[in-house]
Amino acid sequence: MRKRLWVCACLLLGSVSASQAQVSVAEPPFNTDNAGPDFSATSAAKVTLPNFLAVADSFSHPHATRAPTFSPPNLSTALLAEPEPAKPAASSPEPRFVYGGREDYRWQLSLAFVWFRFRSSVYNSNEFGVKTTVTYFLNEWLGVEGDLTAAFGAPVGNGGQDGKIAVYGGGPKVAWRQRRWEPWLHGIFGGAHQGPQTSVGGRNSYSLMAGGGADYRWNPHLSFRAEGDYVGTRFFHQTQDHFLFAGGAVIHF
């Protein structure tokens, strides 16, 4: 009887020890509300889910492309030489000189109406005609001029022949060439021929013309001229003093 009680006590003690061992092994988690640690330990945490937001964005913007990226330019401190600007085309016709601030030309051709007052001891005559000059300027103020004047008047003398005279020559011309007004002086040395023939002497003589005038510039190629001159001759073995006045146009080229 005593032996049976001992065996029962040993079995009871062994069952109590086994139950305590099972309770100590299965410890509860520290935070029963957090399911993250248990989920991360499963195989479901290793599954890659599709990015539905990226897919939806690609459908909403079918033509949108990724903005290209550019690398910053390589700036250099060296300055590039600028090309020389092209020269402007020359105007036509091209002026030959530049006088002060105004462009001008070398050549002048004038044609004027002239009144010539012929005076001598044999006869006096008012004669009318034309006066032509050609001038070439060597620089901005000095030119060389050639002159030809021809005039005709009323009948003179006993024979009733028409009076006439021709004066020709060349010489220097000095001009002050301005934008509008061009005053000038000249001296012409040459010869003269008169008519009619008289019994006093020949019809040819030397001539000396001295005077001046002024040109008004209408445009680059045209001026208007007023002129007055003294003309000295030696007809009939005498010295004569004549005067002429002229007005006309001047062509510049």
pLDDT digits (tens, 9 = 90+) for 109-163: 999 999 999 998 888 999 999 999 999 999 989 999 999 999 999 887 666 788 8
Q: Could you tell me which residues come within 8 angstroms of residue 121 by beta carbon, excluding any fewer than 6 positions away?
A: 236, 238
Token pair for 143:
């030119």
| Inter-CA distances, 241 with 62, 98, 172, Å | 109, 39, 21
Phi, psi dihedrals of residue 17, rounded to the nearest 5° = -65, -40
- As separate numbers, helices (DSSP H) first and strands (DSSP E) second, the chain gives 3, 10
pLDDT tens digits, 44-101: 455 555 554 444 444 444 454 555 555 555 555 545 556 666 666 655 555 555 554 4
Q: What pLDDT score does 135 carry?
A: 97
- For residue 125, list its beta bridge partners: 118
Domains delineated in the chain: 97-252 (2.40.160.20)
Phi, psi dihedrals of residue 82, rounded to the nearest 5° = -75, 140
Q: What pLDDT score does 192 carry?
A: 96
pTM of the model: 0.59
